[in-house]
Amino acid sequence: MIDKTAPAQTPVGRVVATELKPATPHQFHFWTATETSIGIGAIVRVEEPGNGKRETGRVVYGVVTDALAYSDLATPLHDVVGAEGDPVRAAAAPTVRQEIRLWTAAVLRQEPAEPLQPVPLGEVFVATDADVAEALRMDAYLHTAQPTAIPIGLYTSGGLEAPVYLDADFLLGPEAAHLNISGVSGLATKTSAVEFLLSSIFHHFPSHKGRIAAVCFNVKGSDLCFLDQPGVLDDEDRRRYARLGIPAEPFAQVRHYAPFKADGVNLNTLRTHPDLVGDVQPLVWGLQEVLDFAEVLLNRDDIDAKADAFIDFLADRVVGRDFEDGFGGRHRVQSFADLDRLFRSIFDGLELTGRSDMWRTHHIATMRKVRNRLSNISTRCKGLVTDDGPSNDLPWGRFEDRTVYVVDLANVDPLGQDLAFARIVSKLRERLEHHDLGVDAVVVFVDELNKYAPADGPETYVKKMLLDISERGRYLGLVLFGAEQFRSQVHRRVVGNAGTQVFGRMDMDELATPSYQVMTPATKIKLATLPVGELMVRHPHFTQPIFVRFPRPAVLRGRDGVERFPPGTDLPFEDAVVRQLLRLDRSLAPNRIKDLIDGRDPEDVRRALAAVRRKRPDDVLVAFRRELGGRVSPDVPRERQAVPPLNTISEEPY
Amino acid sequence: MSGRAWADAMRAAGAVPASYVPEGSLGRTDLEEVAGAEAVENAELRVHPADAPGLSPPAASFLDGLQYWKVVFYDGVLPIVHVHVACAVRRRGADRKLRTADHATRDFHLAHLAGLKPAVRRLLDEGGLSVVDLPDGAAAQPGRAQEAARRAVENARVALEKEVGERCAARLGPDEWLVQDGLLSESAVLSGHPRALGVIKSHGAQYFEGPELERALTIPAGHRTSVFRPRGRARHEVYSWYLRLWPWEGNDLLFGLLRIEARAHPDTVARASAISGWLVRERAPLSTPDARWDRLLYPIHDVESYLKALAPRDLLPAPASRLPKTGT
Ligand SMILES: Nc1ncnc2c1ncn2[C@@H]1O[C@H](COP(=O)(O)OP(=O)(O)OP(=O)(O)O)[C@@H](O)[C@H]1O
Ligand SMILES: [Mg+2]
C-alpha cells in the first residue's frame, strides 16, 4: 500500500531563516514558487545540504501550518501613488512586482532525533508515501513483525497521495484509546467517518490482538439502520478503498436490536421494511434488569439515600423471592406488575391498620417515590421495559468477532436511552473484566455525545459512566467512539481522554473558543472550510494534526435506506404477534395463532410471546399455547399514574 | 588551497589582513563636466509632451551592473583589493514578470604588483582569483592607489556590462527592446542598435548652459526635451534627450529627471515621444524603498536587487562598527 518507489525529486522550496523569523527545532519557514502545490496541511521534507563528506545531512519532516504572500511594495500608499489613485491603472502597470509565497511549517519529526537542533536551511521537497510514513512515525507500527496499523484515510497533496494509519494499540487500547470526532452537522461527515473507520478496524485489527466487535447506539433517525446494505460509491471512493486496502463492502455481520413500541409487539425502529425487519431483535428488559440500574433513574434529580436503601432492599430481599408483606399477603415479585401488587397491598395494609407512616424501616413517602419512579419508567419506556414477563437482551457471552451490534434508541424516551446506555455499557464492562463477552475488545459508538456527557449540567449516572470508560476503558478493551457537533459542549475529560481526535468541518464560533488557541488562523480557516470527506486527525504518534481524505462509507446511508426500504406500517396486534412467532418457525399457520390469541388479554399474549422467544422451543406453537394458558390475567386492573417527566432532558426534541 | 589556508599563508608572507570597504565603492562616480550638445530635432532646445500611452513593446529586457570592492590586505601601504563586478539582464514578456535572461560576474584581485613583496606576489597568484595590476602611479600613496582601484573596478564593470549587453542585443527579438541602466555610448553595438536605450539617472555631466539649461532642467512631468547629440566624453555617437517622470516642483530640480540615450538615427527623433510615453508608464510600480525611486525604473531596480541578492556577502561593509574584534 505504501508506495516505496521514490523517483528523483526536485525541490519545491527552500528553508529561509532571519533573525525575526528564525528556524527553531519545532518550526521553520520556507518559500516556494508562486505557483505551487503546497497548501495548508501539506507535509514536506527538508534536507540539509550534504556536508561534502558524502554523509546525508539531517532530514526534517514538517506540516504546513501557515502561509504568507507579499510583494516588494514598501507601503500600500506607494501602490496608490504608482497608479495615480486609479485601481484600473494599477492592474495595467508594465511590470508585475516581485512577490513571495512564504510558508510556515511545524516540525513533525527530525532524523536523527538527537541532538535536537534548529531545522537546517535546506531544500524542501513534497513528501512521498514513505516520507509520510516516516513523518508520522507510522514506521513503528506499520512495518513491524506484528503491525497494528489501521488506515484512517489518505493524505493528499499536490497530486501525491499517501495512506495514513492509526496505531491500534493507541486507538483501541491498551496504550491509549478512544476517538472523538466533532464538526458541524451534515458537512463534517462524523457518522460516516466512524462507519468507515469501523469497517477499516474490522479489516485491519491484527489477529494477535484477538476478537473485536462494535456496539453502536443509533440515536438519530435511521442513521445506523442499514449498515449491512451496500451504499452508493463512485469510482474515486472505490479507488481510495483499494489504496487503503479495505474492501468497499458493507458490514458482513450486523445484529440489530430495537425495543418495541408501546403496543409491545411492533418494533420501535425505522428498519421495519418487510425485507429487513426479520433480523431486528427486540430489546426488552424486565424488573430485574431495571432494578439493577435504578440508580440511573434516581440520581437524575434528588439523590436520596433513603430511596437507595429501599431499592437495595427490594433488589436483595424481595425480587425473585417468596416475600411476606406483614399484612398476611405472600408475594413472589418477578415483574413490574407483581411489584405494584406488593406496593398496593402494603399501602392498603398500612391504611387499614392505621398503624403509622412506617413499613419496616422505610417511610411511606420514600416508598411512594420509588414506586413512582419505577412506574414512571415502565410507562415512559413501555416497549423497552416490560411490565410483565421476561426480557430479551444482547447476546452476553456470545458476542461475535467483527460484528456490529446496532441498538436503535432513536425513538426511545431519554430516560430509556439513559437506562439502555447504562445497562449495556455496564454489562460490556463487567463481561470484558471477566473475559467472558465473546470478544476481546468492543468499540462503543455514541453519536450526539453532548447529550449524554454534557460539559455542564448534573452529574448523571450516564455521564459518570462515560467518564469512567474514557478513563479506564483502555485496559479492558472497552473503547468509546464519540461524535458531537461542538466539542466544547462535551465533558472536558471525556473528550480529553480520547487518544485520537478527529475534526470535520468546524463552526467558526466553536473555533474561537479557547480549546482551539493552539491552532494557527490558517489551520482554523482550513477547518472552517473543510470539504466533505476530509478530516483533521490528531493521534498520539503524530506530532501535529494531519489532514486526510476518506471514502464514503460503503453502507447505505440512513436517509437513502428509508427511501429504498420504506418502513412498514405498524401491524395490528394479532398480525404483529404472528410475525414475531413466524420468525421462530416459518411453517406456522398465521390463522392458528390468531385463533389462539383471540379474546386474550394483550398483556398475557406479550408475556407468552416473550417467554417463547426466550426459550426458543422446538415446537413454537405448543410452547406458545402453554405459556398463554399457564397464567391468568391479573385480577386487579392496572391503573398506572403517569408521573410528569423528571428532568429537562426529556423535553429535548429528538 | 582553502580560503582560510591562503589567508594564513598571506599573513605569513607579511601581508596584513584588512577589511575596508571604501565609501562610495558600491555606487558609481558622477562625471562633473560640461560637455556641450549639438541640436538635432530642433535648432533650439524645446519642450515636447511625451506621447500617451506611447510605445508598448511586447517584450523588454533590462540590464544593470553592480560593483563591490574591498581592501582585504595591505602589503606595506599597498592595498590588495578584492573586486566583484556583476551584470544581469532580466527579461519581461507577456506575463509582465521579470525573469533572468543573462547573468555574468567577475571576481579578481587588484594590486600594484611590482610593489609587492615577492612572497605576497606569488601567493596572490595562488589566491584562486585572477590578478589585475594597478598602474605605476598608484604605488606612491594609499589614496592614489585607492583612486586607481576605483577606476579599474569601474572599467571592469563597464566592460562586463558591454559584453552582456552586446550578447543580449544579438538575441533580441524583432519587437523586443533593451533598456540599459547608464550610458549606451560605451558600446558600438548598442549605440547602433535600433531598439536599445540607455537610461541615465545622474546628471554630473551637463550639455547646456543659460536658457537652454533652464529649459532642460525644468521640463514638467510627462514631458521631454528636443533630441540632441551629446558631445564630449562619449565613445560612440548617440542621440539623447531629457525626460521628466515626476513633477519636480516642491522637490528638487533633478527630481524625476532622466536622460535617455538612443541610436543616432532619424528614427530616434521620430520615436522620441513614443519612447518617452512608454518610459513614463514605467513609473509604476514604484521602486521604493530605494531612495532614487523618482528616477529608478522598477525593472532596473529589480535587476539591481537580483544582483545584490547574489553578490558575495563578505564584500559588503560590515553592519557592525569597526571596533576591535575580541577573541579569535
Ligand atoms: N467521504 C465522503 N466523501 C464525500 N461525501 C461524504 C463522505 N462521507 C460522507 N459524505 C456525505 O456527507 C454527508 C453528511 O455525512 P454525515 O451524516 O456522516 O454527517 P454528520 O457529521 O454525522 O452529520 P450530523 O451532525 O447531522 O449527524 C452525507 O450526505 C454523506 O453522503
Ligand atoms: Mg451524524
More confident residue, A230 or B128: A230
Per-residue pLDDT band for A360 (boundaries 50, 70, 90) equals: confident
CA of A545 to the centre of ligand 1 (A): 21
| A532 touches ligand 1 (CB under 6 Å) | yes
For residue B25, the model assigns a pLDDT of: 55
Q: Are A181 and A194 in contact (CB under 8 A)?
A: yes
* Better pLDDT: B293 or A329: B293
- Kindly state the percentage of chain B with pLDDT values over 90: 70
Query: Would you call B12 helix, strand, or coil by DSSP?
Result: helix
Q: What is the pLDDT of residue A8?
A: 67
Whether B90 has its CB under 8 Å from any CB of chain A: the answer is: no
- Which chain B residues contact residue A73 at CB under 8 A? 285-286, 288
Euclidean distance between CA atoms A300 and A28, whole angstroms? 52
Lowest mean pLDDT among A90-99, A483-492, A623-632, B216-225: A623-632
pLDDT digits (tens, 9 = 90+) for A140-170: 999 888 999 999 999 998 778 899 999 999 9
Cα nearest neighbour of B288 on chain A: A74
User: Using omega within 30 degrees of 0 as the cis cutoff, is the peptide bond preceding B53 cis?
Assistant: yes
Q: How far is the CA of A497 from the centre of ligand 1 (A)?
A: 25
Contact yes or no for B285 and A81 at CB 8 A: no
Phi and psi at A501, nearest 5°, equal: -120, 130
Give the strand pairing for A362-363 and A358-359: antiparallel
CA torsion angle A604 A610 A616 A618 (round to 10) = 20
Higher-pLDDT residue of A248 and A355 is A248
Q: Whose Cα sits closest to atom 12 in ligand 1? A: A189
Flag the least confident range among A182-186, A395-399, A618-622: A618-622
A509 versus A391: the higher-pLDDT residue is A509
What is the C-alpha separation between A10 and A519, in angstroms, rounded? Answer: 30
For ligand 1, is residue A189 a contact (CB within 6 Å)?
yes
Q: Do residue B305 and residue A98 have CB atoms under 8 angstroms apart?
A: yes
State the pLDDT at residue A302.
54
Provide the pLDDT for residue A652: 38
Q: What is the pLDDT of residue B321?
A: 57
* Cα–Cα distance, B281 to B265 (Å, whole number): 24
Give the pLDDT confidence score for residue A621 in this predicted structure.
86
Q: State residue A186's pLDDT score.
A: 87
Asked if A82 and B281 come within 8 Å (Cβ–Cβ), the reply is no
Chain A residues with at least one Cβ partner in B under 8 Å: 72-75, 78-79, 81-83, 89-90, 93-98
Rounded to the nearest angstrom, the minimum Cα separation between A94 and chain B is 6
CB A191 near ligand 1, within 6 Å: yes
Kindly determine whether residue A95 and residue B305, on different chains, have CB atoms separated by under 8 Å: no
Q: Work out how many CB contacts closer than 8 A connect A with B.
A: 49
Residue A354 has pLDDT above 60, yes or no: yes
Give B262-319 pLDDT, tens digit per residue: 999 999 999 999 999 999 999 989 999 999 999 999 999 999 999 999 998 888 776 6
Pick from A578, A599, A611: which is nearest to A335 by CA?
Answer: A611
With a 6 Å cutoff on the Cβ, whether A222 touches ligand 1 is: no
Nearest Cβ partner for A94 among B96, B289, B305: B96
**A512-571 pLDDT, tens digit each:** 998 888 888 999 999 999 999 999 999 999 999 999 999 999 999 999 999 999 998 888
Sign of CA dihedral B217, B220, B222, B225: negative
- The amino acid at residue A380 is R
Q: Which of A270-284, A508-522, A599-613, B165-179 has the highest average model confidence (pLDDT)?
A: B165-179
Beta carbons within 10 angstroms of residue B252's beta carbon:
10
B283 touches chain A (CB under 8 A): yes
Distance of alpha carbon A361 from alpha carbon A38, whole angstroms? 75
State the distance between the two ends of chain A, measured CA to CA, in whole angstroms. Answer: 43
Could you tell me the distance, in angstroms and rounded to a whole number, from the CA of residue A553 to the centre of ligand 1? 9
Of the listed ranges A55-59, A361-365, A447-451, B213-217, the one predicted with least confidence: A55-59
DSSP string, A60-128: EEEEEEEEEEEES-S-HHHHHHHTTT-HHHHHT-SSPPPEEEEEEEEEEEEES-SS--PPPS-EEEE--
* pLDDT the model gives residue A307: 80
Confidence label for A627 from pLDDT (cuts 50, 70 and 90): confident
The pLDDT of residue A654 is 37
Check residue A385 and give its pLDDT.
85
Cross-chain residue pair A93–B97, CB shorter than 8 Å: no
A165: its cell numbers: 494509519
The architecture in CATH of the region A169-283+402-563 reads: 3-Layer(aba) Sandwich (3.40)
Range in A473-482, A504-513, A572-581 with the lowest mean pLDDT? A572-581
State the residue for C-alpha cell 511594495.
A73
E strands of A360-436, at which residues?
362-363, 403-408
State what percent of residues in chain A have pLDDT above 70.
92
Please give the grid coordinates belonging to residue A135.
513523518
Task: Quote the minimal CA–CA distance from B192 to chain A in Å.
Answer: 26
CB A339 within 8 A of CB A372: no
More confident position, A638 or A314: A314
**Maximum alpha-carbon separation in chain B:** 69
What's the whole-number average pLDDT of chain A? 87
Residue A5 has pLDDT above 70, yes or no: no
Nearest Cβ partner for B299 among A73, A83, A95? A95
Query: What CA–CA distance (Å, rounded) separates A280 from A341?
Result: 33
- The model's pLDDT over A631-644, given as tens digits with 9 standing for 90+, comes to 444 433 333 223 33
Q: Residue A194 pLDDT more than 90?
A: yes
Q: Report the alpha-carbon distance of residue B279 to residue B256 in Å, rounded.
A: 12
Question: Cell for B186?
Answer: 560605451
- List the single residue in A74, A83, A98 with the smallest CB-CB distance to B284: A83
Q: In this structure, is the dihedral angle defined by the CA atoms of residues A264, A270, A275 and A279, taken in order, positive or negative?
A: negative
Cα(A189) to ligand 1 centroid in Å equals 3
Distance in Å, alpha carbon of A28 to nearest chain B alpha carbon: 21
Q: Which of A95-109, A354-368, B222-236 holds the top average pLDDT?
A: A95-109
Average the pLDDT over A95-115 and give the result: 94
pLDDT digits (tens, 9 = 90+) for B163-201: 999 999 999 999 999 999 999 988 999 999 999 999 999
Interatomic CA distance for residues B57 and B94, integer angstroms: 10
Q: What are the distances in angstroms from CA B61 to CA A293, B36, B198, B302?
A: 85, 30, 12, 12
Q: Is A414 in a helix, a strand, or coil?
A: helix
More confident residue, A301 or A274: A274
Average pLDDT, chain B: 89
Q: In the predicted model, what is the mean pLDDT of residues B84-110?
A: 95
Q: Is A617 helix (H, G, I), strand (E, B) or coil?
A: coil
**Residue among B281, B286, B304, B305 with most chain A CBs within 10 A, to mutate:** B286
Identify all chain A residues contacting B286, using CB atoms and an 8 Å cutoff: 73-74, 78-79, 81-82
| The pLDDT value given to residue B32 | 54
Residues of B with CB below 8 A from A83's CB? 284
In the structure, what pLDDT confidence band is assigned to residue B98 with cuts at 50, 70 and 90? very high
pLDDT recorded at residue A300: 52
Find out whether A122 and A47 touch, Cβ atoms under 8 Å. Answer: yes
Residue A457, phi then psi, degrees to nearest 5: 100, 175
Looking at ligand 1, which residue's alpha carbon is closest to its atom 14? A186
Residue owning the nearest CA to atom 30 of ligand 1: A189
Closest-CA distance, A105 to chain B, in angstroms, reads 25
**Dist. CA B285–CA B301, nearest whole Å:** 10
**Backbone torsions φ then ψ of B258, nearest 5 degrees:** -120, 155
Half-sphere exposure of residue A631, counting CA atoms within 13 Å on the CB side? 17
The per-residue pLDDT for A632 is 43
What mean pLDDT do residues B112-134 have? 90
Is the CB of residue B281 less than 8 Å away from at least one CB of chain A?
yes
A341 lines ligand 1 (CB under 6 A): no
Cross-chain CB nearest to A95 (options B285, B289, B305): B285
Average the pLDDT over each of A43-57, A411-425, A492-506 and give the range with the smallest value: A43-57
Please tell me the predicted confidence (pLDDT) of residue A602.
81
Q: Which three cell numbers stand for residue B253?
A: 530640480
In testing the pocket of ligand 1, which one of A192, A560, A563 has its CB within 8 Å of the most ligand atoms? A192
Enumerate the residues of chain A whose CB falls inside 8 A of the CB of residue B289.
Answer: 74
Residue nearest to atom 24 of ligand 1 (CA): A185
pLDDT digits 0-9 by tens, A35-50: 999 999 999 999 988 6
A287-301, A397-411, B8-22, B303-317 — which is least confidently predicted? Answer: A287-301
Residue B139 CB neighbours (<10 A)? 20
- Ligand 1 pocket residue status of A445, Cβ below 6 Å: no
pLDDT at residue A631 in the model: 45
Which of B98, B284, B305 minimises the CB distance to A93?
Answer: B284
Strands B196-200, B257-263: parallel, antiparallel or unpaired by DSSP?
Answer: antiparallel
Compute the distance from residue A193 Cα to the ligand 2 centre, in Å: 9
Domain limits of chain A? 13-135, 169-283+402-563, 288-380, 571-628
Residue A268: closest CA among A454, A410, A104, A474:
A410
Evaluate whether A336 touches A638 at the Cβ level (below 8 Å): no
Would an 8 Å CB–CB cutoff place B298 in contact with chain A?
yes
Contact between B300 and B69 (Cβ < 8 Å): no
Q: Which atom of ligand 1 is nearest to the CA of A483?
A: 22
The ligand 1 atom nearest the CA atom of A557 = 31
Closest partner residue to B286 among A78, A89, A96, by Cβ?
A78
For residue A557, CA distances in Å to A183, A223, A228, A247, A402 come to: 18, 7, 11, 18, 20
- pLDDT score, position A634: 40
Helix (H, G, I), strand (E, B) or coil at A17: coil
- Residue A304: CB partners within 8 Å, gap ≥ 6? A298, A366, A369
Task: Find the CB nearest A82 among B286, B289, B299.
Answer: B286
pLDDT over 60 at A3, yes or no: no
How many Å apart are CA A43 and CA A39, to the nearest integer? 9
DSSP string covering A251-268, please? Answer: -S-EEEEE-B-TTSSSBS
Per-residue pLDDT of A15-37, as tens digits, reads 999 999 999 999 999 999 999 99
> What's the CA gap between B208 and B39, in Å, rounded?
11
CA A401 / ligand 2 centre spacing (Å): 25
CA of A99: which chain B residue's CA is closest? Answer: B97
Looking at all shown ligands, the one closest to residue A181's CA atom is 1
DSSP A515: G
Distance between terminal CA atoms of chain B? Answer: 21
